[in-house]
Amino acid sequence: MRCAVLGDPIAHSLSPTLHRAGYAAAGLPDWSYDTQRVPAGGVRAFVEQLGPEWRGLSVTAPLKRELLEVATEVTEQARLVGAANTLVLRPGCRVADNTDLPGAVAAVRERYDGPVTAATVLGAGATAASTGLAMVELGARSVTLLARSAPRAAETAAVVAAHPSAPRVLVGDLALDPVAGEVVVSTIPADAQSDDLLARCEAAAVLFEALYDPWPTPLARSAGERPLVAGLDLLVHQAALQFAQFTGGPAPLEAMRAAGEAALAQRSSR
């Protein structure tokens, strides 16, 4: 049985490490999981040449919205986000799902059990949409999106605002505008995390850094004693949900997490 993660770039992905550790812990020696570099616009061609041995695909940037176009079924979570990071493959059926949303909810609750009445998301891509919706699932009535491009942020703002609870969504300038709420989620590159931006995040009770490589990012280093939700936390929780969908069995989450931690520690020591 074969699975893989698609994206461009993709060599940095920890997904193979997590899923392979899961297969080993679950006693699935006939399952494999690899990386596949697929550029924007290439998802359909890749999917349509797959053989019957394929059971699932994980998808990262820049392919999350494109993945919806090749699915025969789309889950409610993926429809809500307007993007998918998971394609479950069965004979005659391709089911697109989004495990980033519930994965983000689980990652926050693992580190923080306090209230979430408002949140700020830095960035405006597909990950900003899924984590913004996760903040609403956690109770946020107001979500602020701080982005470098207002037109790009408009699409993500519309996605978050369409949540059934009808949250208030504000769009601001990443370089200028204030941060609001208990949680700050960063989906922007590490080199975009300026000293000024970090200063505006000082009042947040919780920091959520969606990146895991490079690590630690400036935002992660600034956490101090505050709860920090790491990119690896999100990756592990969303990967565990994918593992269950691909294999049909429960994910060995702690084995997957330990493998990810070991891989990141090895990278940081280089």
pLDDT at 261: 96
62-84 average pLDDT score: 95
Supply the mean pLDDT for the chain.
96
pTM for this structure? 0.94
pLDDT band at 15 (very low <50, low <70, confident <90, very high): very high
Percent of the chain with pLDDT strictly greater than 70: 100
With CA atoms as reference, report the closest residue to 116 among 231, 229, 257: 229
User: Which of 139, 133, 143, 220 is CA-nearest to residue 179?
Assistant: 143
pLDDT digits (tens, 9 = 90+) for 95-121: 999 999 999 999 999 999 999 999 999
Is the per-residue pLDDT at 141 higher than 90? yes
- Residues 24-48 have a mean pLDDT of 97
Catalytic residue among 2, 55, 64, 94: 64
pLDDT at 150: 82
Domain range annotation of the chain: 2-98+236-268, 113-226
Q: Looking at the predicted structure, is the pLDDT value of residue 269 above 80?
A: no
Residue 270 pLDDT > 80: no
Task: Please state the rounded mean pLDDT for residues 68-96.
Answer: 96
Report the CATH superfamily, name and number, of domain 2-98+236-268.
Leucine Dehydrogenase, chain A, domain 1 (3.40.50.10860)
**Is-cis flag, bond preceding 62, omega within 30?**
yes
Is residue 122 very low, low, confident or very high in pLDDT (cuts 50, 70, 90)? very high
Topology of domain 113-226, per CATH?
Rossmann fold (3.40.50)
Lookup result for tokens 């990386």: 35
pLDDT recorded at residue 151: 84
Q: What is the 3-state secondary structure (H, E, C) of 156-186?
A: HHHHHHCCCCCCEEEEEECCCCCCCCCEEEE
Q: Residue 126 pLDDT more than 90?
A: no
Active-site residue flag, 162: no
What's the longest Cα–Cα distance across the chain? Answer: 52
CA atoms within 13 A on the CB side of 266: 9
| pLDDT of amino acid 214 | 87
pLDDT of residue 268: 80
**Same fold across 2-98+236-268 and 113-226:** yes
